[in-house]
Amino acid sequence: MGKRHIWVLGIGCLIFIFTTVANAQGDGQKKNRWYYERRGDIVWEVPKAGKKIALTFDDGPHPVYTRRILKTLKRHHVKATFFVVGKNVIREPQLTRRIRKEGHELANHTYSHPGVRRLSLQKLKEEIEKTQAVVFKNTGTKTHLMRSPGGYYNDKIIKVAKKTKHQMILWSWDQDTQDYRKRSVIRIVRQVISGASNGDIVLFHDSEPRAAVALNYIIPILKKKGYRFVSVSELLPFSKHKK
């Protein structure tokens, strides 16, 4: 073996070691939607569900807007899913009970809505368990679905979801209404209607005033197009917790 060959071999080995180490460290970045979706770790939407759509509301219960949303959903005979924040459940126990009583699904959106990327596994686990406990205390039902604040995901978050027996749920990429950005109701309506497809999961926030108004337009139009509105659990083909 000549000197040149040894050099090439040496550099080749270095590149191999370097990329292996880099891959191991950059775990989170390498694992994208397709990785987690294929494994069933995270659900963004369920296209095989047929003409069904799940409306979801994050960050509540909110003393004013959740009530408006509930009223709108009732008016249109539609069931939805509320990803509640534990400390808001403590503030609004009656409202939490009302969500459940009116036939909607309660899901877990952590206790204090922390930044989850830097949170330890143990702390995140506590956030989920504490919320599950307060929801159970107030409604007698356990949460089976969770959504991380900001929709962040990585191996750590998936691990916590599994440890606490929750299915991680995000939302259809074209169905983030971004209602928190103070967008006009018309824009939200247009986005949800034009993007609607089988098994979509639509993201609203019940800390915002726009959802209730937008739903008054969205629901009748999509019903006319043949869509049915269901809870997220009803959308899941493998759910053990169908209501």
Binding site for Zn ion (CB under 5 A): 58-59, 149
| Least distance to Zn ion, CB of residue 58, Å | 4
Residue 59 or 234: the one with the smaller Cβ distance to Zn ion is 59
Catalytic: 76? no
DSSP symbols for 138-161: HHS----EE--GGG---HHHHHHH
Spatial distance between the Cα atoms of 74 and 98, rounded to a whole number of angstroms = 12
Catalytic: 77? no
DSSP code, position 104: P
237 upstream amide cis, omega within 30 of 0: no
CB 185, CB 216: distance < 8 Å: no
Return the residue nearest Zn ion (CB atom). Answer: 58
Residue 131 or 227: the one with the smaller Cβ distance to Zn ion is 131
**Residue 56, amino acid:** T
Residue 106 or 222: the one with the smaller Cβ distance to Zn ion is 106
Spatial distance between the Cα atoms of 169 and 186, rounded to a whole number of angstroms = 27
Q: Is 107 helix (H, G, I), strand (E, B) or coil?
A: strand
| Least distance to Zn ion, CB of residue 113, Å | 6
Query: For residue 37, what are its two tokens?
Result: 């979706």
| Least distance to Zn ion, CB of residue 90, Å | 17
DSSP symbols for 40-96: TSEES--GGG-SEEEEEEES---TTHHHHHHHHHHHTT---EEEE-HHHHHH-HHHH
Residue 59 or 200: the one with the smaller Cβ distance to Zn ion is 59
| Least distance to Zn ion, CB of residue 118, Å | 17
Catalytic residue among 58, 59, 200, 206: 58
Spatial distance between the Cα atoms of 29 and 25, rounded to a whole number of angstroms = 9
How would you classify the pairing of strands 200-205 and 228-229? unpaired
| Least distance to Zn ion, CB of residue 96, Å | 16
Residue 172 or 227: the one with the smaller Cβ distance to Zn ion is 172
Positions marked catalytic: 58, 205
